[in-house]
Amino acid sequence: MSMPSRWADNPHGYGLVSRALHWGMALMILWQLLTAIVRATAEHGALDNVLWGTHVSVGFTIWWLAILRGVWGLANLSRRPAHEGHPLMRGAATLGHVALYALLILEPTLGMLRAFFKGRELVIYGFPILVRGDAPRNAVLGSFVSEAHEFLGWSLFVLIAGHIAMALWHHLVRRDGTLRAMTHGSTAPRLRAGI
């Protein structure tokens, strides 16, 4: 039995599931960026503690949603809108999307490994997943994973900025309906009644 077209992707646009995952994750990633900026620039105080306290739980949610989104994307791959244009642009778009998915899975994985190797407590939505001292502390791996998590986190934000720039380029310059496919589920503009 096939899924109703409004839920699944189709050649003209993305279904409700893909759009909900995309925009829901976009909001969570924006939150992660905010918490990372506050952590990097502000004094470690009450605001930082409140914001940073959500960073691990939201990162864990992004991790699961990225896996779910990858599975959903593969299941819908043959139905999704095709990348159009020059073969180099299509290749760059595919490579960019693969890099986004990879980093959205790798980045939270590194965050969890950092807690493990540094012997830290890992609490997700108030539930302790790792209790301090459960994992053998490994300073070398802990430092490496911590640096990788930080570097790849900022790299992910740069990649996302490029993704946003290309979406705007498609919308404002090419006017090809690419952005509309992810916002409205169809590349075709909606007609007003009576036209």
Q: What is the pLDDT of residues 168-192, one digit of tens each?
A: 999 999 999 999 999 998 877 654 5
Place of tokens 């991790």: 63
The structural domains of the chain, with segments of one domain joined by +, span: 16-183
| Torsion angle (degrees, nearest 10) of CA 50, 52, 58, 60 | -130
**Spatial contact of 74 and 18, defined as CB atoms under 8 Å apart:** no
* Alpha-carbon gap, residue 185 to 76, rounded angstroms: 14
CA–CA distance, 193 with 195 (Å, rounded to integer): 6
Residue spans of alpha helices (H) in 42-86: 46-76
pLDDT score of 195: 45
pTM of the model: 0.89
Of 117, 179, 95, 114, the C-alpha closest to 153 is 114
pLDDT in tens, 81-90: 988 889 999 9
The residue ranges of the chain whose pLDDT is under 70 are: 1-4, 134-135, 189-195
Residues 6+ apart with CB under 8 A from 125: 57, 60
pLDDT of residue 190: 56
